[in-house]
Amino acid sequence: MIQTQQLTKKYGNYFAVNNVSMSVQKGDIYGLIGKNGAGKTTIFKLLMGLIKPSGGSITFLESYNLEMARHSIGFMMEDGFFSYLNAHDNLMFAAKLKGIEDEKEINRILQLVGLKNSTKTFSTFSTGMKQRLSIGQALLGNPDMVILDEPTNGLDPQGIADFRNLVMELNQKYQTTFLISSHILGELNLIGTRFGFINKGYLVQEISAKELHNNIHQGLIFQVNKLKKACELLENKLKITDYRVTKNKEIILPGYEDRPYIIAKCMVENGLDLMQLKVNQVSLEEYFLNLIGGNTNV
Ligand SMILES: Nc1ncnc2c1ncn2[C@@H]1O[C@H](COP(=O)(O)OP(=O)(O)OP(=O)(O)O)[C@@H](O)[C@H]1O
């Protein structure tokens, strides 16, 4: 749906976005993951035409006309709401700017983002309410594609769960494509179909949810009372040689996470005590940090 080719944005000599070639497919829930200052918002502003690239290009696959394509995208506003208006009136104003006059659409959105019964003015909103209104504004008119910049910031755990459900519902019901940024991989891991990892302006990796799942599930890990005998059984009986032993005397077998019963049966039948057997999983945070080679502020 969107493809960027070596997209670059420089501020002076500083590369906020550096040679980014990413592709968002129709129906994706694409998670753009990066630490604060990685370049996520800059990419979104470039996509929406709010700032001009210093290099590279953007293609919206369903349209040759960039401006027309941008009209069919819902974009989450950072600010731009009126402090003295309530949720309904702020949405009505945003809707008019999009050429939407139907009162029913305002009420649909208020219901979707849980602000239907709120009469408070924007100035008295909690951070979570402001965030819900921003998300709602992006969803006005049921666009084909929605770009959300850190939508879970300021939401409580229930708000994050509601947000996930809303995105999944719209994605399934209308095949709405989502491009969502976050600095926490775990927040989007449950719903994302594709991920782009960005660090210091570079797109470090673009990966499908399935590939990510395979990368974080790194085989089976088990521990028995007789390590030497277990290794002999693996090699001689099961013909497995690509295992490794950790300093804690655990054995790690790549690719056996869906067949733990083979290992359990062999060890127990040959008189060993099975003390531990589990899938060896790299945490999402670890995965992300390994990728960007950092260790702070994720
Ligand atoms: N107008 C600007 N002038 C100069 N530098 C800028 C400007 N806008 C952004 N930057 C810099 O570009 C880098 C990327 O900023 P960006 O807002 O895209 O990051 P981000 O990944 O969205 O981070 P955050 O999660 O904090 O919003 C940052 O170092 C930022 O300071």
> Looking at residue 198, what is its pLDDT?
95
Query: Which residue, judged by its Cα, is nearest atom 25 of ligand 1?
Result: 36
219 and 255 Cβ atoms separated by less than 8 Å: yes
> Which pTM does this prediction carry?
0.81
pLDDT band for 297, please (50, 70, 90 cuts).
very low
**Residue percentage of the chain with pLDDT more than 90:** 55
> 166 vs 88, 89, 116, 169, 292, CA distance in Å?
19, 22, 15, 5, 30
CA 158 to chain centre: 18
Which CATH number does 2-200 carry? 3.40.50.300
Is domain 218-285 in CATH 1.10.890, yes or no? no
Backbone torsions φ then ψ of 152, nearest 5 degrees? -95, 0
pLDDT, mean over the chain: 89
Residue 98 confidence (pLDDT) above 50? yes
> Looking at residue 97, what is its pLDDT?
86
17 CA from centroid of ligand 1 (Å): 9
Report the alpha-carbon distance of residue 219 to residue 226 in Å, rounded: 21
What residue has token string 């309410």? 129
Q: Give start-end residues of each CATH 3.30.70 domain in the chain.
A: 218-285
User: Tell me: the pLDDT tens digits for 255-287?
Assistant: 787 788 999 999 999 999 999 999 877 777 888
Residue 298 confidence (pLDDT) above 50? no
pLDDT band for 295, please (50, 70, 90 cuts).
very low
- Atom of ligand 1 minimally distant from the CA of 42: 18
Burial code of 140-176, b = ≥16 C-beta within 10 A, e = fewer?
bbebbbbbbbbbbbebeeebbebbbebbeebbeeeeb
For the Cβ of 132 lying below 6 angstroms from any atom of ligand 1, the answer is no
Query: Which residue, judged by its Cα, is nearest atom 7 of ligand 1?
Result: 11
For the Cβ of 11 lying below 6 angstroms from any atom of ligand 1, the answer is yes
Q: Give start-end residues of each CATH 3.40.50.300 domain in the chain.
A: 2-200
